[in-house]
Structure 1
Amino acid sequence: MKNRLVKSMLCSMLIGTISTSTVSAEVFSVPEVEVRYVSSITEASKQNTTCSAMEKNEIDLQALEIMQKTGNWSYVEPLFPSMTSQGVEEVVALYIQKTGNYEQAEAALPYMNQDHLENNQSTQSQPYTDYYTMAIEVVTNTGDIYSAMVYVSFLSTEQVDLLVKDYIDKSNDFSCIYAIRPYMSTNGIDDTVKSYIDQTGDYGIVAAMLQFMSSEASDYVARKYISEDKEQLYLEFFTPYLETEIKR
């Protein structure tokens, strides 16, 4: 156990940096040792040390254990250059699950994509920028669009529009649009709101989105609400968006 941990921690080159006496089964329950471990791998990265596949897999496991036990991003971020793409993705997913902080996780994107870049070196005329496919895969595998928020700032507005609309159409979880709206186009918001209303008739949750819609689309939704909703509980929120007054 000691020898395997030492190899993963020092990436071959730094075996003399940390005494083997400090490496024990309790290494990840002691913050001071965790920090020392992180510092060692960081130094290896600075010296362009290359880890073998086996060593990367070991570091993946240790980084995941650190995140599981501490939830501390600063403990694992320096490990990313020495990890596999899949290992980084698993650590990031666990971090988001624990904290909900997808903005912090954006720092891991270059390393989450690394293996894909290596596999596509032959197609140099088409640089790898397929964050959209990665986002779709994350949403499909988790059923949760918030897990894919780490990719959103790297997508075009058209891609974000498609991602959000498809997710809401399938899940009816309209509330996610409030977190992702800044990355969407007006047309995307229009289409998503209108589609959601047509499917569910749930006007209460969309009322706050009218201000971000085009005048034509907000007028459409307001008129649809007034003509379809019998209770009219949200009338005051919809009437300001009518282009012309409805004759009764």
Structure 2
Amino acid sequence: MVKSFLKRFYLFLIFLFLYAPIIIMIVYSFNNSKIAVEWNGFTLKWYSELFKDRQILKSLYYTVFIALISSTISTIVGTIAAIGIYKLKLLPQKIVLNINYLPILNPDIVTGIALMTLFVVIGLDRGLVSMLLAHITFSIPYVILSVLPKLRQLPSNTLEAAMDLGATPSYALRKVILPQIKPGIITGLLMAFTLSIDDFVISFFTTGNGVTNLSITIYSMAKRGINPKINAVLTLMFVFVVLIILIINKRTSKERSY
């Protein structure tokens, strides 16, 4: 009984340590004072001020737009690549997977400067297109690693069995393979979407004048001091992520019940 209580208590302390900064940030987003450490009453004015700030709204537009486009494209490319890697022989598969690990293990600053150098060499102006290409590039390896485990769970002769029953390769892929690996595809999509919203370093090196995402804007605002509007926008982002997780968990539980 005592051991069980201690385990729960330690678990509580761990989660408290992890989420205490987020809780403080959410609480102070409703603070009526501009000074972060001084509570001066409850207010919603920072949320109303947030939606009047054209710089933040513009950054939010670019953030969501780039995240949606890059996650969609990287999910399609990553899924196709994962199926191709799955069909490779053992040695080529290991080589390709090791190459796929490099962008993940590589420090973000190395990837950001490398992409910036590439865009300069090929003469591509840094801006919306360059940032979009950068986000697609670093998201694809994560999608591949999300889809591959689901492919490995399939029986090795699934595609051949479908084709023996009269299905064409494309029909078997659409109606047999893709539905069974859908959880991995959705996981890869959400991971790519989250990585795109969260990214700062690579975006910083690959963007140009007039195009910034929320991470860059928040960084610029934070250099001038802690603005309560930062707490408000980060609180909304946190709530948005929590809602996505709840929707996915509800959808997963329904699929399991069927």
Name the TM-score, length of structure 2 as normaliser. 0.24
Bigger relative contact order, structure 1 or 2 (CA pairs below 8 A, ≥6 apart): 2
Structure with the larger helix share? 2
